[in-house]
Structure 1
Amino acid sequence: MAQKIREAEGILRVLPKPGEKIAPAEGERNVLITSALPYCNNVPHLGNIIGSTLSADVFARYNRTRNWRTLYICGTDEYGTATETQALKEGLTPRALCDKYNATHVETYKWFELGFDYFGRTSTPLHTEISQEIYLNLAKNGFLERLEKEQTFCEGCIKFLADRFVEGTCPHCGSDDARGDQCDVCGRTLDAVDLINPRCLISKLHTVTTRTTAHMYLKLDALQPRTEEWIRKSWKEGKWSPNAVINADGELIDARLSSTQ
């Protein structure tokens, strides 16, 4: 199907030619598209595809039919506790798990004929370099703050536990199967340190306590004025939909800013 569409390029340019590099061009309409990066800890199901990669693919194809220079990029998200949890279940290292499921994701999307221009991985050296550059620039410009907080610690594993690795009794409803981030019985969001009789999911025989640990936080209050000013300018130029610029009070950021000037 994809090849037939390419052969009809004189009528509709839906997919780029194999190996074609898509770069922005001065004076043309340039469209960059991405979708929510799928977690690399399981086989993608139909809901994952319909909810992100397929809808973005449809939009990319539409833009190409208009002969706009369109770049659709995506990739697997290989970081976070979801990956570590699944790796423990399957007896693999996180890297081996991601190698396994990245290949599965790639084959699945090929079967659905999704037209990514580039499908990568968050574990690549370039992604690491860019992420570190962002972090260092935030620190250099005073937008990071070091704070200490209490966090669950497993005495047997000898490490701090992310919320997905802790369960215990909910302090609100008394359910004994509450997770470190939420209780499924009463629906309340939780902090792992608030659980009663917390248990380590890696080994329930281990003792879980709390210890103080340092974290770096993004100073959103310092960034907010500059961010809102950028949004105010960009959403008009880019013709963003209104729901992209609604603030926590349900107001258009642009309208609120205008009312204060």
Structure 2
Amino acid sequence: MSLDAIDTSIAFGGLKVLTNVSVQVERGRITGLVGPNGAGKTTLFNCLTGVVRPQQGSVRIDGRDISALPLDKRIQLGISRTFQTPRLDLDASVLDAVMLGFYSRHKPSLAASFVSTATRRRHDAQLREKAEALIEQFQLTPNPHQRSGALSLGRLRLLEVARAIASEPQYLLLDEPAAGVDENDRQLLARAIRNAAARNVGVLLVEHNVGFVAELSDHMLALVRGEVVAAGSPHAVVNDPEVVTAYLGGQRVAA
């Protein structure tokens, strides 16, 4: 069971951004994706999530071709993502922000309109308990009704990850989740990512912090100028000569 980009190529205005790039995100494993600015990481991420469509190649989920499906349909198939810049309603409470994750994948059906008020209340209470558990897990705030905009940037990033996990995805795609996050919050984030993989969620981690990615990942890829230049174990990728030169500035990272 996996989410795959297979030989994908994308160009914008004649400029090649991805060239025959493949990545496999397996259930229960953490796949790390690194590369310098402009390498094509975000474009590959957007290709997997349905923001852009590959001009060549395909995107598949558990063997099914979803190359033409938009983002909302992919969410319903179990793909959840975060963004480089958190996309949150800063006026909403932290509790409401997390609970939104539950509803993003499971939209109310016609049958749900015939469910009794008491049943709906019990269901909402159960979701509220799960949301409060996530808020506690991420140590977001002692007051779930606090306005989201009152959180620090690091906690806003954690809030977005908590919301993505709330949708109970099969595949969790994280775009720079550790940017602007302090060491304590990075440890909370790392624990949550490991817990997700332990629950058989496939995780794709796109991140500039190479050490953070290498520590967490089961498998890593490095993109340079829209092409995969290294793939394999974290140790092999971060010590690959082309990766060291293009991304790490000649400084090796222990993995």
Give the TM interval when normalised to the shorter protein: under 0.3
What TM-score comes out, normalization by structure 2 length? 0.22
What TM-score comes out, normalization by structure 1 length? 0.22
Larger-Rg structure: 1
